């Protein structure tokens, strides 16, 4: 069985990807399952570029196929921010080495501050995910996914992570943090990208 490294230390991301790839003949491991590795610099100007760079870096470092995602929140009223800086949007508000819960809370607080005077109809946004699979030399698969929504004025829900408590789905009347994991995965940007990835990976494994 081939080992597939998922280039994340985020347990939420790893859980979502494992769930979608569960039926494939691969052993899925995250970065926390491996000896510590230095993180690569994320210098790409797009989600796709960062995903390619991370996948290639970790594939070379581990000797295994690696799938990396770069995903984030694109807010129209902020000119596309936080975009590729979503995970570290409020870095200036956090102590170095702050935990994920602290960083998420700071990011959400900054987002609400910047949108405080923006009316509801202009709070449109989307989650975007780009996935790339590398063997260390070549990008073997690339997929993506997008889900549209609006930024709520208060956090709601305890499921998910990151900006989920603020990402409102008008068609459902809930935030993505209020959805059960299966329901969220069915519509989420990462769920879309991962299902497309799983289809292409199944074909690749059959011919590799």
Residues acting as catalytic residues: 70
Q: Which residues 6+ apart lie within 8 Å of 91 measured at CB?
A: 103
Q: How far apart are CA 197 and CA 106, in angstroms?
A: 32
Q: Which residues 6+ apart lie within 8 Å of 182 measured at CB?
A: none
Q: How far apart are CA 26 and CA 201, in angstroms?
A: 10
Q: How far apart are CA 37 and CA 33, in angstroms?
A: 11
């Amino acid at each position: 069985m081939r080992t597939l490294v998922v280039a994340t230390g985020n347990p939420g991301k790893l859980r979502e990807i494992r769930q979608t790839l569960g039926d494939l003949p691969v052993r899925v491991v995250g970065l926390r399952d491996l000896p510590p590795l230095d993180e690569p610099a994320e210098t790409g100007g797009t989600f796709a570029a960062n995903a390619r760079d991370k996948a290639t870096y970790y594939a070379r470092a581990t000797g295994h196929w690696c799938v990396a995602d770069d995903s984030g929140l694109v807010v129209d009223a902020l000119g596309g921010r936080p975009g590729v800086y979503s995970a570290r949007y409020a870095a200036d508000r956090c102590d170095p080495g702050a935990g994920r819960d602290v960083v998420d809370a700071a990011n959400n607080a900054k987002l609400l501050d910047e949108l405080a005077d923006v009316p509801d109809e202009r709070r449109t946004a989307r989650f975007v995910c780009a996935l790339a699979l590398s063997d260390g030399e070549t990008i073997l698969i690339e997929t993506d996914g997008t889900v549209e929504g609006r930024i709520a004025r208060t956090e709601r829900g305890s499921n998910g992570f990151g900006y989920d408590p603020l990402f409102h789905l008008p068609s459902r009347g809930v935030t993505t943090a209020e959805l059960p994991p299966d329901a969220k995965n069915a519509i989420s940007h990462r769920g879309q990208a991962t299902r497309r990835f799983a289809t292409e990976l199944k074909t690749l494994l059959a011919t590799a």
